[in-house]
Structure 1
Amino acid sequence: MTPPIEWESEETFWNRLFAKAGTQRVPIAAALEVTYGCNLRCVHCFNPTHQAKGELATRQITAILDQLAEVGCFQVGFTGGEIFTRRDVFEILAYAKTKGFAVTVLTNATLITPERADRLKAIRPHSIEISIYGATRETYERVTRIPGSFQHFLTGVQLLRERTVPLLIKMPVMTLNQHEIEQAKALVEGWGIKFVYCSDIHPRVDGSLEPLQYRLTPEDVIRIDDVVLGSERWSAAGGTKKEGSCPRPPSGQLFTCNCGMNSLAVTPYGRMNLCVALPTPGYDLLNAEGWRRLVEFVDEANARPGPAYECPTCALHDHCRQGPMDAWLATGRLEVCLPHFKELATLEQHVVELVRPEQDRPAPGTSSPGRTEPS
């Protein structure tokens, strides 16, 4: 008798695919910013402009998609700005599908109309990821600074739900909306949609620190993680499950994420970067040679991170949520340890020790053992 086939979950498939691509240094995932134009004016946005001047034309974007396919890219996330401020967005998405890409659409959903919802369903995206900024009109529009945007958001989500396209709703948590995270989670899950959140608020890519006034304190980050994740927050090894943060490998290398391993980002002007929020190194070349240079940039940074680099010997390493992007946006250097993240890691380590089973705790005078694999 033939044994039943054991199907792996979608999450397991993607994790396995990304791990293999990272080992072989194949750029299977790309974030393609098709515009910086946006109809909202969110207080925390790391994009310093909402204008769409001199951006790539349709034919230039389709040429980039051709080049991404040539270097082995499999998944493309289309983001902005707000992608639906581009009149040619469906032409771009349809072309991406003809190239065989798994298409992810990132949007605030406020510009979704019945016609656009129909066209999105016809494209059959892998996923549509929508941002939510609050569970009430008052809070949502305090963040977006656009009257009426909350109702447009609700309408857009409803139109997409009616067409049963795959949805994910994400909440950037900040001082203005932290009091509504449980309410937002209940709202989204009541729609039958997966809810995720992230407490990372970054400086703007032009160096402005203005968005940081809306960043949560380390105490609030820990509290919200505990409220939303509950007992699932802690792993058996005493580490943490961090929403939206980079994994920390045992080597303590500078780049711990997929940047330069299996992913890249492209700006609306055709420059290739490590990720959307890390506008460096800004190569104009987007082909196999350009990807090789990006890999070399990451490898060089890992091999010689700089004089301020102390991560491998830091006792807080396993609990740290800082990545090179955070340091670069705040200081212009990739390796600098930032006080906010050090304080957060200290608090997290303390909480871990309080909840960790006694038999798993290190002996007095010793440090926690390093992880044997990325979390």
Structure 2
Amino acid sequence: MLELTYRCNLKCSFCYLLHKRRLNKAPYELTTAEILRLVDRFKAGTHFYLSGGEPFLRNDIFEIMEYIKKAGFRFGLNTNGTLLDAVKIKKLAALAPGYVIFSLHGSRPLHDRLTGLKGAWRSLMRNMSALAAISGSGTEILVNCVVNRENSGELLKVYRAASRAGAQRVVFEHLQFLKPREASGMPAVLKAGGIIIPELEKYGADAALIHRQFGEIRGLKDRSAHFETRPLMTERCLDDYYNGEIKPSGSCARVLDALNVEPDGKVRLCVLYGLKTGHALATPLKDLLAFKKKYIGRKLPSGCARCCHRFELFRYF
């Protein structure tokens, strides 16, 4: 994951950057030349996931994508969809990324409220539809919805809206957060490095409602888009997830095959932990991997309780 910027034109209420006071506050961003040097460090077969913040706030975003493409790497990106226009959509389609993920979190009124921008839903839907209409078969149009207590009754609406706009896959990922006691059980070195997701003492959600919404989506006869979730949970597990405490078990599906590079080039332990493992332009890749194995490669710390990235996506249909 290459986080190109922490700047964003939205202020989603559940955004970890907002909760951790990182939104629009990155002290330094890698220059275009530095990012291209970073790309050159990796071997064939590397997959670049471009994220933010909002990647389209970088004036060099297309230069970066073109370079990755010409170098023969696979890549995709995540966007809130509001900053695209006809010219950018045409250029993006021509680059044929493996996927484009649009963030959609509710019906028009709710999405606009959650993102803090009136008109965000309308812009997103218009631009996603336009890209879907001209993209080739090699580009998958996805929607990612962060399930939370605010939109737990609108998941069916999200699926239907995404399908109408041309999404080929709709992914519902549960909000990542920690209860204070879960955070307190982490090793001291991880505490010192900080945790990326918010700590929410009294957070809760209607697990039965979420379960019913998923059931209604599964019962649809018009299944024009795939329906996926992460992690897969029963109603009882959903209740524990949102309203109880969680102890992580098993292993992580992503910890040893991914690097998380922040806008300034520093590499953090994983998507969840802020502990720095080196710099993407200087630290040998084998050393970055060894650091990961040392701290989370064997037993998952308590901070991993609600990290969706340690699970594989589950496809209902």
The TM-score by the shorter chain falls in which range? 0.7 to 0.9
Contact kept, 8 Å, 1:35 with 1:55, in 2: the verdict is yes
Is this contact kept in 1: 2:45–2:74, CA < 8 A? no
Counterpart in the other structure of 1:129: 101
Q: Which residue of 1 aligns with 2:153?
A: 179
Alignment equivalent of 2:3, drawn from 33, 37, 55: 33
Is contact 1:62–1:92 with CA below 8 Å preserved after alignment? yes
In the other structure, the counterpart of 1:257 is: 253
Counterpart among 199, 208, 213 of residue 209 in structure 1: 199
**TM-score calculated relative to the size of structure 1:** 0.62
Q: Of the candidates 45, 51, 56, which is equivalent to residue 79 of structure 1?
A: 51
| Counterpart Cα distance in 2 of 1:49 and 1:300 | 27
Deviation at 1:253, TM superposition (A): 7.0
Asked if 1:113 is matched to 2:88, the reply is no
Structure 1 residue 172: deviation in Å?
A: 0.8
Deviation at 1:122, TM superposition (A): 1.6
> CA deviation digits over 1:289-336, x for unaligned, max 9?
63323332343345764xxxxxxxxxxxxxxxxx75xx43xxxxx6xx
Unaligned ranges ≥5, structure 1 = 1-30, 232-240, 306-322, 329-333, 342-374
Does 2:156 align with 1:160?
no
Once structures 1 and 2 are overlaid, which stretch shifts more, 215-224 or 34-43?
A: 215-224
Deviations 1:37-66 (A, max 9, x none): 001000000113321542111111111111
Alpha-carbon distance change, 107 to 269 in structure 1, aligned in 2, over 3 angstroms: same
Report SS of the residue matched to 1:81: coil
Match of 1:362 in 2: none
1:138 to 109, 116, 133: 109
- Identical amino acids, percent of aligned pairs: 24
C-alpha spacing 1:303/1:271, structure 2 compared with 1 (3 Å): closer
In structure 2, C-alpha distance between the alignment counterparts of 1:281 and 1:88, rounded to whole Å = 26
Q: Which runs of 5+ in 2 are unaligned?
A: 179-193, 221-226, 234-247, 308-313
Given that 2:29 and 2:264 are in contact with CA atoms closer than 8 Å, whether structure 1 keeps it comes out as: yes
Distance (whole Å) between structure 2 residues aligned to residue 68 and residue 107 of structure 1: 24
Amino acid at match of 2:231: S
Q: Does 1:244 align with 2:227?
A: no
Equivalent in the alignment of 1:278: 273
* Distance in structure 2 (CA, Å) of the matches to 1:115 and 1:163: 12
- 8 Å CA contact 1:199–1:221 kept in 2: the answer is no
TM-score by length of 2: 0.73
State the Cα deviation string for residues 342-375 of structure 1 (Å, max 9, x = none): xxxxxxxxxxxxxxxxxxxxxxxxxxxxxxxxx9
Q: Which amino acid in structure 1 is aligned with residue 255 of structure 2? A: C
CA 1:294–1:73 in 2, change beyond 3 Å: closer, same or farther? farther
The amino acid across from 2:12 in the alignment is: C
- The aligned amino acid for 1:132 is L
The aligned counterpart of 2:28 is 54
Q: Equivalents in 2 of 1:124, 1:259: separation in Å? A: 28
Shift of 1:79: 0.4
1:163 CA displacement: 1.5
Equivalent pair of 1:266/1:276 in contact (CA under 8 Å): no
Contact conserved, 1:112 with 1:159, CA < 8 A, in 2? no
User: Are 2:170 and 2:228, in contact at CA under 8 Å, matched by a contact in 1?
Assistant: no
User: Is residue 266 of structure 1 aligned with residue 273 of structure 2?
Assistant: no
Q: Does 1:169 align with 2:143?
A: yes
CA distance in 2, matches of 1:94, 1:213: 45
In structure 2, C-alpha distance between the alignment counterparts of 1:253 and 1:281, rounded to whole Å: 24
C-alpha contact 2:196 2:274 (8 A) present in aligned 1: no
Contact 2:81 2:127 in 1 (8 A): yes
Query: Contact 2:29–2:263 at 8 Å: present in 1 too?
Result: yes
Residues in 2 aligned to 1:54 and 1:65: alpha-carbon distance in whole angstroms:
18
Q: Report the number of matched residues.
A: 266
* Contact 1:44–1:201 (8 Å) recurs in 2: no
Give 1:230 deviation, angstroms. 6.2
Per the alignment, in what secondary structure is the counterpart of residue 279 of structure 1? Answer: coil
Q: How far apart in 1 are the matches of 2:298 and 2:160?
A: 46
Aligned to 1:89: 61
More helix by share: 1
Alpha-carbon distance in 1 for matches of 2:297, 2:121: 47
Residues 1:105 and 1:188: Cα distance change in structure 2 (over 3 Å): same
Alignment map for 1:194-343 (pairs within 5 Å): 194-202=169-177, 205=195, 208-209=198-199, 216-229=205-218, 243-245=229-231, 255-260=251-256, 262-286=257-281, 290-301=284-295, 305=299, 324=301, 327-328=302-303
